[in-house]
Amino acid sequence: MSTLETNSIGKYSGNNVSIDDALNLKSYTTAERDALTSVAGDIIYNSTLGNPQVYDGSAWNDLGGLDLVEIEYVVVAGGGGGGVRGLYNGGGGGAGGYSSSVSGENTGGGFSALPKFYATPSTNYTVTVGAGGAGNNNTNTNKTRGNNSVLATIVSIGGGQGAYASMIEAVDGSGNNVLLGGSGGGLRGAINGEPGGASTLFQGFDGGRNGDFTTFKGAGGGGGASAKGVDSTVSGGGNGGAGVASSITGSSVTRAGGGGGAGNNGSGSRGLGGSGGGGNGEDSGNAATAGTVNTGGGGGGQGTSGTGPSGGSGVIILLYPDTYTISNTGMTLTETDRGDGYKYAEITAGTGTVSWS
């Protein structure tokens, strides 16, 4: 398959061979490798994967070390539900937490990609796609955070709820911050200096707050995966923070945008949802909207009473060499050959397991 040039090759007792210079395997991309007419025992260096590989007569296998599947992932949690009006106005829901190991891209919070995931073939790994949080209904018992998404030990935290206007408690019955999320939920236009919902490190940004601390006007936008939710103005709701774009599927798609905050009394200018599925807040001519399904977008804030919009459900996308095939139980999963030596699996709902063979 390749022409070996060396200064000296010496044969000693038995089958021992000495080579005085480094052995340089012929280099091929995955596509070039697949175009070869190969026989069992052929060895190459796969420049696409960065691994030496040997052909066993039916498939190419990595040489040396443990037989592990290198996986890049995007794991997005469910977005938080939007707030509603009570005494004041509803904040935008925070985007679902965004965790990514895609080379050359960012994870949430403005950080570089996280470490890749390595799977042992034929081993089951637990996976959950988080649902979006339900819309807030202006009661202290309705915590509307998004739900977590999980890939084995990788957990993206559900987006924070958009605070409802009469909410005064900072913690729930278990001592958990009700606004905490992958990206914090936007906060109502209310108490002077009160912060927006807190974010989770490496997953998103905080929510916005009331930008006019002397009046009870528009509400802050929900935090997004790549930007903080915008503070409101005297009459206008703050925009939701933007999400993160990824080309893991071969096309750039933005996910995990925060929901926009409501305008004053639902009549002032509304905050718009952040790019990546965030819902819009309410104004006089437009109702608040829900976060987009399978983006983890936060729900928009509502300037009237009732029940606010829900957050968008999360999604999990896994990228791996095309020499492997994924299997799953209990989930909605589609496997696609990207055509460049890799496949990706997009998981849009459910809880179950995945494995590779």
Instruction: Find the largest Cα–Cα distance for the chain.
Output: 91
Beta strand residue intervals within the chain, DSSP E? 9-11, 17-19, 27-28, 43-46, 51-55, 60-62, 69-76, 98-100, 117-119, 125-128, 149-151, 154-156, 244-246, 253-255, 315-321, 326-337, 342-356
Q: What is the pLDDT along the chain (357 residues), one digit of tens a residue?
A: 444 444 455 555 555 555 566 778 899 998 899 899 999 889 999 888 777 888 888 888 877 656 789 999 999 999 999 988 766 678 899 999 999 999 999 999 999 999 999 999 999 999 999 999 998 776 655 567 899 999 999 999 999 888 765 444 444 444 444 455 788 887 654 444 456 777 899 999 999 887 655 555 778 899 999 999 998 887 788 999 999 999 999 999 999 999 999 887 767 789 999 999 999 999 888 999 999 999 999 999 988 878 889 999 999 999 999 999 999 999 999 999 999 999 999 999 999 999 999
What pLDDT shows up at residue 294?
A: 98
Q: Torsion over CA of 235, 239, 240 and 245, rounded to 10 degrees? A: 180
Residue with tokens 């990207």: 338
Domain ranges of the chain: 9-62, 66-357
Residue 81: half-sphere exposure toward Cβ, Cα within 13 Å: 21
3-state helix, strand, coil in the chain (%, to 5): 5, 25, 70
- Distance, in Å, from the CA atom of 274 to the CA atom of 230, rounded to the nearest integer, reads 10
Question: By the 8 A CB rule, do 289 and 308 touch?
Answer: no
Q: Given its phi and psi angles, is residue 115 left (phi above 0), alpha (psi -120 to 50 degrees) or beta?
A: beta
What pLDDT shows up at residue 27?
A: 92
**What is the reported pTM?**
0.80
Within its chain, how far is the Cα of 337 from the centroid? 21
CA distances from 75 to 165, 168, 345 (A): 31, 32, 12
What pLDDT shows up at residue 233?
A: 82
Q: Torsion over CA of 168, 169, 170 and 172, rounded to 10 degrees? A: -150
What pLDDT shows up at residue 171?
A: 45
